[in-house]
């Protein structure tokens, strides 16, 4: 007599009362699984303290828990109904354990999602911003590990050895590491960039390889949009070993230059112009008042040098240029009102004939643009 003939012969021996009890067991867990899950989470909230995080955990894990209670009801009902010999024949216990492992893997898969409570909590603790690529990377790695472990554990329930799988994965990982050394270097470089956060998406950076705005950060490369609107892809391994200047992280932006005025400028008017320029900078709301220097510092060959040093409050390129333009126009107005002329290249020419006749020097201005 084969298995199915024996099963058909003994199925008729099951009493209706046993069938009714088994159905009631299954129906109880199927109908009241939501209540049971709610009661369990209420106990956990009372034990560890109610919070919004507890509600989020409930929303994430509610479906796996409810499925577990339905599965437990079916298992208990069938176990009550069938004799021990039939349980062993159909592999009831391994089936139940496999289903529990699958549900546990499902719950861990949900928890390892990029937007899950677990990873969001990790991101907040290590203070990651929204542009960080670490959380998506962790999510992908954890989900892959969860899937592999779930399949391996289910296979071990049915007698499949996972030792060969582990050994094969080790040899395969070694071969992949040797064949993809540069790729792995870029991946580790990307991890370094994401953890140290020298820049983020949207930052204006300067490196020996490129200058521009960071458009995307992946685990292999970083894409930089230059100011000529070209897109440069820089491998992370090279970028992590280079000095990186992040202009977007400046708290303020510096302006430093020497303003050349005419050599024959009146001393009193020059002092008044310097005083007015400094007051102009201090009264401007776009200029940081912390560090402002306006000083007469240089005697040059064809000019007097006024050193001007200040910082704009905004580091945005367009706003910085606008503030600097406004200051430059105001400087011209001050110089005009004080009668101070800007310097231009000039030469003094001495004529021997004029000196011999008792004349003096002849000064001629040299304008290269005329």
pLDDT at 332: 94
Q: Residue 172's pLDDT is what?
A: 55
Beta bridge partners of 231: 225
* pLDDT computed for residue 258 by the predictor: 94
Average pLDDT over residues 267-281: 94
Arithmetic mean of pLDDT over the chain? 75
Residue 185, CB-side half-sphere exposure with 13 Å CA sphere: 12
Q: What is the pLDDT of residue 370?
A: 40
Q: Is it the case that residue 369 has pLDDT exceeding 50?
A: no
Q: Where do we find the tokens 């989900």?
A: 143
Q: What is the SS3 assignment for the chain?
A: CCHHHHHHHHHCCCCHHHHHHHHHHHHHHHHHHHHHHHHHHHHHHHHHCCCHHHHHHHHHHHHHHHHHHHHHHHHHHHHHHCCHHHHHHHCHHHHHHHHHHHHHHHHHHHHCCCCCHHHHHHHHHCCCCCCCCHHHHHHHHHHHHHHHHHHHHHHHHCCCCCHHHHHHHHHHHHHHHHHCHHHHHHHHHHHHHHHHCCCCCCCEEECCCCEEEEEEECCCEEEEECCCCCEEEEEHHHHHCCCCEEHHHCCCEEEEEEEEECCCCCHHHHHHHHHHHHHHHHHCCCEEEEEEEEEEEEECCCCEEEEEEEEECCCCHHHHHHHHHHHHHHHHHHHHHHCCCECCCCEEECCHHHHHCCCCCEEECCCCCC
Tell me, what's the pLDDT at 165?
57
Cα–Cα distance measured from residue 183 to residue 242, given in angstroms and rounded to the nearest whole number:
18
Select from 261, 285, 277 the least CA-distant residue to 339. Answer: 261
Give me the mean pLDDT over the 345-366 stretch: 57
Give the model confidence (pLDDT) of 154-207 as tens digits: 887 777 766 655 555 555 555 555 555 666 666 677 777 777 778 888 888 888
Confidence of residue 261 (pLDDT cuts 50, 70, 90): very high
Domain 200-249, what architecture?
Answer: Roll (2.30)
Whether 284 has a pLDDT exceeding 50, the answer reads yes
* Residue 365 pLDDT grade (very low, low, confident, very high; cuts 50, 70, 90): very low
pLDDT over 60 at 75, yes or no: yes
Highest-confidence segment of 25-39, 130-144, 234-248, 263-277: 263-277
Q: What is the pLDDT of residue 267?
A: 92
Chain segment 216-230, per-residue pLDDT in tens = 877 678 889 988 889
| CATH of the domain spanning 253-338 | 3.30.70.100
The model's pLDDT over 224-249, given as tens digits with 9 standing for 90+, comes to 998 888 999 888 888 878 888 888 78
Task: Kindly report the pTM of this predicted structure.
Answer: 0.46
Domain range summary for the chain, segments of one domain joined by +? 3-176, 200-249, 253-338
pLDDT at 1 > cutoff 90: no
Whether residue 88 has pLDDT greater than 60: no
């Amino acid at each position: 007599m084969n298995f199915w003939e024996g099963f058909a012969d003994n199925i008729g021996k099951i009493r209706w009362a046993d069938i009714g009890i088994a159905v009631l067991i299954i129906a109880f867990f199927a109908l009241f699984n939501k209540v049971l899950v709610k009661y369990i989470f209420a106990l956990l909230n009372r034990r560890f303290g109610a919070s919004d995080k507890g509600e989020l955990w409930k929303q994430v894990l509610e479906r796996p828990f409810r499925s577990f209670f339905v599965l437990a009801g079916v298992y208990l009902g069938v176990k009550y109904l069938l004799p021990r010999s039939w349980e062993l024949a159909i592999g009831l216990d391994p089936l139940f354990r496999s289903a529990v492992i699958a549900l546990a893997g499902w719950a861990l898969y949900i928890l390892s999602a990029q937007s899950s409570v677990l990873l969001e909590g990790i991101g907040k603790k290590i203070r990651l911003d929204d542009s960080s690529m670490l959380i998506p990377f962790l999510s992908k790695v954890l989900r892959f590990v969860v899937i592999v472990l779930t399949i391996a554990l289910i296979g071990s329930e049915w007698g499949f050895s996972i030792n060969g799988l582990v050994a094969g994965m080790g040899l395969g990982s070694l071969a992949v590491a040797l064949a993809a050394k540069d790729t792995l270097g870029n991946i580790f470089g990307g991890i370094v960039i994401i953890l140290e956060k020298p820049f983020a998406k949207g930052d204006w950076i300067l490196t020996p390889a490129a200058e521009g705005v960071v458009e995307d950060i992946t685990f292999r490369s970083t894409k930089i949009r230059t100011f000529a609107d070209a897109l440069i892809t820089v491998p992370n391994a090279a970028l992590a070993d280079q000095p990186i200047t992040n202009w977007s992280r400046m708290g303020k932006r510096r302006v430093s230059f020497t303003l050349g005025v005419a050599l024959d400028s009146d001393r009193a008017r020059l002092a008044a112009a310097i005083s007015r320029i400094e007051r102009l900078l201090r009264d401007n709301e776009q200029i940081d008042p912390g560090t402002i220097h306006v000083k007469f510092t240089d005697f040059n060959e064809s000019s007097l040098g006024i050193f001007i040093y200040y910082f704009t409050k905004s580091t945005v390129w367009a706003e910085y240029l606008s503030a600097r333009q406004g200051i430059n126009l105001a400087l011209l107005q001050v110089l005009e009102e004080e009668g101070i002329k800007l310097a231009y290249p000039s030469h003094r020419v001495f004529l021997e004939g004029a000196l011999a006749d008792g004349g003096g020097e002849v000064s001629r201005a040299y304008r290269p643009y005329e």
